[in-house]
Amino acid sequence: MPRQAVLVLGPESSGTRLVTRIFLAAGYWGDGDHAQRLENGETPPPSRNIVWRKSYPHGENWPNAVELARDLRDKGFDVHAVVVMRDSYCCTRSQKARGHSNDKLKSRDAYRKAMLQIFKQVSEALLVSWITVSYSELILRGARAAKKLVEQINPYAKLDFTEKIVDENLKYYRP
């Protein structure tokens, strides 16, 4: 079986770091926080599957999943994408709370642009298999949903995910 590369794609504050940590707990090589060693040219161990998180935008830049997928395929990886979905109301409020935006309307527009870019790019990268995952389902179903998520990409992976998934949406619905 060829090595796998999983691109975790989603708008800022959609849950991409959480999904990346789930794949890390299944033995994938990568980083679960903002710093990504793959962006700095670090080479993963030769036998490891990798996970690479890309938020849209990623800092000041808008990633290009088509180019990433092409480069990874050229390096011999079987490329998959996981598109992280989060309720737009909560996602845009989280963007504002985390300092990604200081304006609700700009956050809303960035969210819409991000979703359009992600699905456009994933559809253009024809050889990429992709799935979606709902942040809300991960909250509701926890480790069971995490296991099923990983199994959709790699049915042979052993998941050791013990992190408690906190409902970060709830605070945006309080009076």
What are the domain boundaries of the chain?
4-172
Tokens of 9: 């794609």
* Architecture of the domain made up of 4-172: 3-Layer(aba) Sandwich (3.40)
Q: What is the DSSP letter of 142?
A: T
List per-residue pLDDT tens for the chain, 175 residues long: 789 999 999 999 999 999 999 999 999 999 998 888 998 888 899 889 999 999 999 878 899 999 999 999 999 999 999 999 999 999 999 988 887 778 888 889 999 999 999 999 998 876 678 999 999 999 999 999 999 999 999 999 999 999 999 999 999 998 8
Q: How many CA atoms lie within 13 A of 167 on its CB side?
A: 11
State the Cα–Cα distance between residues 23 and 161, nearest whole angstrom. 9
